[in-house]
Structure 1
Amino acid sequence: MLGVLPAVLLFTACGEEGGSDPARSDAPPENPPPVDQEYRASGTVLQSPDRGPVLCAGVAESFPPQCGGGVELARWDWDAVEAESEQGTTWGDFELTGTWDGETFTVTGTGPPSRPAEWPAAPAPDEPGGGDRAARDPDELADIQRDLTEDFPDDVLSSFPDEEQGVVQADVVLATPELQETVDERFGEGAVVLNSWLMPVSG
C-alpha cells in the first residue's frame, strides 16, 4: 500500500519500525501555525502496537506496512472508517482535515484519499522566488539537497534534485512564508521549491 504524498518515501526493506521521526521535534516550533486554521492532507493512517495513530509521510512495503515518519494524530476514531488490520497493526488511506499546532494534527473530518499531486513547476527566473536556476548544475543541486536535509530535519519529509528545472524539490510538513524565506537565505532565492503536505482549507 502506498501513501499518496507526491514524494512519499518508500522503504522496500522490512526493517523494524522506529528511529528518529523527521516530522517531529521536542522543541516548540519557532513560528507555530494559527490554532484555528484547518488543513487537509492525504496519506496512510497507521497504528501499530508500539505507537498510536500516525498520518504517515512514507510507508514501508512490508506486511503489515510500517510508517516512515509522519505526524501524530489526535481525535482519531478507527470505528468511524474502513481499515485493514493484521498482527496488531491497523491502517488505511484517507484524506484528513484538522488543525495543526506544530506537533499534533487534530482530526476534524475524514474522507477518501485525493489523487497524488504533480510536482509544481518552479517559478520562472523573472518571477518572484525564481532566482537564477540555470546556473545550478547537478552537483550543486545534490549538495543543496544534502544540506537541506541536514539543516532542516524537522521540516523536510523528502526531497530530490529536479535537474530539469534546476531546483531541489522538497516536501515539508507545512510550507510557510517564514520557512521559505529561511531556506532562500540559506541556499539562494529559488534554489529550493517547498511543497506543503498540509494544505490550508479556505473559508
Structure 2
Amino acid sequence: MTAVAAVALLTLTACGSAPGSSAPTSVALTTAPAPEGRVIATGTVIDGPEGAELCLGAIAESYPPQCQGVPLDGWSWQGVDGSETSGDTTWGAYAVYGLFDGERLEVTDPPIMLALYDPVSPEDPTGGREGATTEAELTRIQDELASRLHAEATSIWTERGYVWVGVPWDDGTLQDAVDSAYGEDVVIVTSMLRAAD
C-alpha cells in the first residue's frame, strides 16, 4: 500500500483517561472504505518517469517540483492547457475528477485548469469559533497524530485553537474517531478528495 493509500482511519481508545487528557492514546491504523462514485480534488499534477500523481499536500520547491501524491490512472495531457515541462517531467495545477479505490485515482473527466475552476467554498467546520484547547495540549496531540499517521496524512498543523489534519479521503469515520479520543472541537479532519456525485 502506498504512503497516501486510502486514508488511514484512526481507531483510538483513551486508555481509561478522559478525552483531551495528557495520558497516552492507543492508536491503530485501518483503511477507510473507498468512496462510492466520483470524487474531485484540486492540486498540482506531476507527471514524471514514475507516472502521474496528484499532489494533495506539500510540494518540494525543486525544479521540476516533486511530491508524494495520489497516483493517477488514465491521465493524459492531450488537449490540456496550463502545463510546464522540464526534462521528462510535466506539471500543472488542476481540478481532477475520478474514482478513488483507496490508493489510486482513476481519471473520469477532462481536468479543469485551476485558473478556470470555480469551486464551491466548503463550510468552516468550526463555525468560525476559536478552539478552547491549550497550545501545549494542541502541540502534544499534533505530535502524537503525526507519529501515528506518518505519510498517510497530507498535512498536520495547529491553527485557531485546533489541530487540523488533512487526509486524502475521509467519510467522517476519522473525524468521529478523533472526537472520541480527544473530545469534540479539538481535531478537525479535512478530506482533500470530495464527493462529486
Same fold by TM (over 0.5)? Answer: yes
What is the RMSD computed on CA atoms of the aligned residues? Answer: 2.9
1:30 matched to 2:31? The reply is: yes
Contact 1:24 1:154 in 2 (8 A): no
Structure 2, unpaired ranges of 5+: 9-28
User: Which amino acid counterpart does residue 126 of structure 2 have in structure 1?
Assistant: A
Corresponding residue to 2:126 among 106, 122, 126: 122
Per-residue deviation, 1:153: 3.0
* Equivalent residue number for residue 168 of structure 1: 163
Tell me the distance in 2 between the aligned counterparts of 1:122 and 1:90: 37
Do 2:32 and 2:170's aligned partners in 1 also have CA atoms closer than 8 Å?
no
CA shift for structure 1 position 123: 4.7
Output the CA distance in 2 between the equivalents of 1:90 and 1:142: 38
1:41 aligns with 2:41: yes
Aligned length: 170
CA, structure 1 residues 78+124, in 2 after alignment: closer, same or farther (shift >3 Å)? closer
By how many angstroms is 1:104 displaced? 0.5
Please list the CA deviations of residues 12-68 of structure 1 after superposition, one character each: whole Å capped at 9, or x if unmatched.
xxxxxxxxx64237x99633224x41111111100222x21000122222211112x
Residue 180 of structure 1, CA deviation: 1.1
1:6 — aligned with what?
Answer: none
Alpha-carbon distance in 1 for matches of 2:148, 2:126:
22
Name the counterpart of 1:79: 78
Q: Which has the higher contact order (CA 8 A, sep 6+)?
A: 2
Tell me which residue corresponds to 2:139. 142
- Which residue is equivalent to 1:188? 183
Structure 1: state its 5+ residue gaps.
1-20
CA contact (8 A) 2:45 2:53 kept: yes
* Aligned residues of 1:39 and 1:200 also touching (Cα < 8 A): yes
Match of 2:16 in 1: none
Identity %: 33
